[in-house]
Amino acid sequence: MLKLVARIFIGVLSGVGVLAIATLVWLVSSGMSARRAPSALETWVGARVRSFAIPASDRQMHDPATSADPAEMRSAREQFTDHCAVCHAHDGSGQTDIGRRLSPRPPDMRTDLTQSLTDGEIFHIINDGVRFTGMPAWNHEARQTWALVGFIRHLPKVTKAELDDMRGIPAGTRSAKPAATPTSTAKTGRAAADRRAR
Ligand code: HEC
């Protein structure tokens, strides 16, 4: 019995070793340059790992305020222009000087890639950022983050007038900076939901 356990242990260890060497060889041969967009396999693995790392309770979160209030949407457009458009572009396409040179690239948020994420997943990604990518964590109020989720949902049908309005918003309008000390999504999201429920 002990022999069998030892054999399994050695087997797993050699498997991990072979995988580590293969990864190293692949990294050295392909380099760490951000000029190259990640391969389909890297993108697939990255998306799976990210999805796996988002707690189910966060994935199920919903916007506590369901109305798309015009003032809130204007504020979200302001926020998006000031904090997000540099990488994601005003229209969410990711086609900016920086966006095109990040690896992984910011995805086109108008497509199913982003639109198929749950509201809670989008909230979590904005609030906590994504490690090993250019996506920062943000210190926005939960209500502001939900407004951004609403704006991202609106991106597939964003109008020219809205985009023109965004392009006219001067830089530095909003003050929130990437989170220095991350606040867990569950806390901020739930806190907002609780406030509404009271
Ligand atoms: C410095 C560049 C940068 C900035 C600024 C930035 N992002 Fe991102 N964002 C990225 C990158 C790169 C990814 C891709 C991450 C990945 O592959 O998991 C991303 C991914 C996302 C995603 C997930 C989309 C998907 O389908 O995978 C959302 C949602 C998002 N960003 C929202 C925002 C919002 C909202 C802001 C502003 C508050 C913002 N980002 C600011 C670079 C940025």
pLDDT tens string 90-105: 999 999 999 999 999 9
- Ligand 1 geometric centre to CA of 117 (Å): 13
Instruction: Give the structural domain span for 6.
Output: 1-30
CA pair distance 83, 148, nearest whole angstrom? 11
Confidence of residue 133 (pLDDT cuts 50, 70, 90): very high
Report the pLDDT value the prediction gives residue 126, as an integer from 0 to 100.
Answer: 97
- Ligand 1 pocket test target in 87, 131, 173, 185 with most atoms within 8 Å of CB: 87
Q: Do 91 and 181 share a structural domain? A: yes
Instruction: Give the tens place of pLDDT for each residue, 149-198.
Output: 999 999 999 999 999 999 998 877 776 556 655 566 655 555 554 444 33
CA pair distance 133, 125, nearest whole angstrom? 11
For residue 26, being part of any structural domain is answered with yes
Q: What number is the average pLDDT over the span 80-87? A: 96
Q: What number is the average pLDDT over the span 7-22? A: 90
Closest C-alpha to ligand 1, atom 13? 106
Q: What number is the average pLDDT over the span 6-35? A: 86
Q: Is the dihedral of CA 187, 192, 195, 198 positive or negative?
A: negative
Q: Do 184 and 110 share a structural domain? A: yes
Ligand 1 shell residues, CB under 6 Å = 46, 50, 83-84, 86-88, 102, 104, 106-107, 109, 113-114, 117, 122, 125-126, 130, 133-136, 138, 148, 152
Report the pLDDT value the prediction gives residue 170, as an integer from 0 to 100.
Answer: 84
- Ligand 1 geometric centre to CA of 135 (Å): 5
Q: Do 20 and 59 share a structural domain? A: no
Q: What number is the average pLDDT over the span 133-161? A: 94
Go through 74-103 and write b for each residue having 16 or more CB atoms within 10 A of its CB, e for each that does not. Answer: bbbbbbbbbbbbebbbbbbbbebeebeebe
Report the pLDDT value the prediction gives residue 24, as an integer from 0 to 100.
Answer: 82
Report the pLDDT value the prediction gives residue 63, as an integer from 0 to 100.
Answer: 83
pLDDT above 60 (res 62): yes
CA pair distance 53, 50, nearest whole angstrom? 5
Closest C-alpha to ligand 1, atom 6? 84
Q: Do 7 and 71 share a structural domain? A: no
For residue 37, being part of any structural domain is answered with no
The pTM is what? 0.85
For residue 136, being part of any structural domain is answered with yes
Identify the CATH number of the domain in which residue 108 sits. Answer: 1.10.760
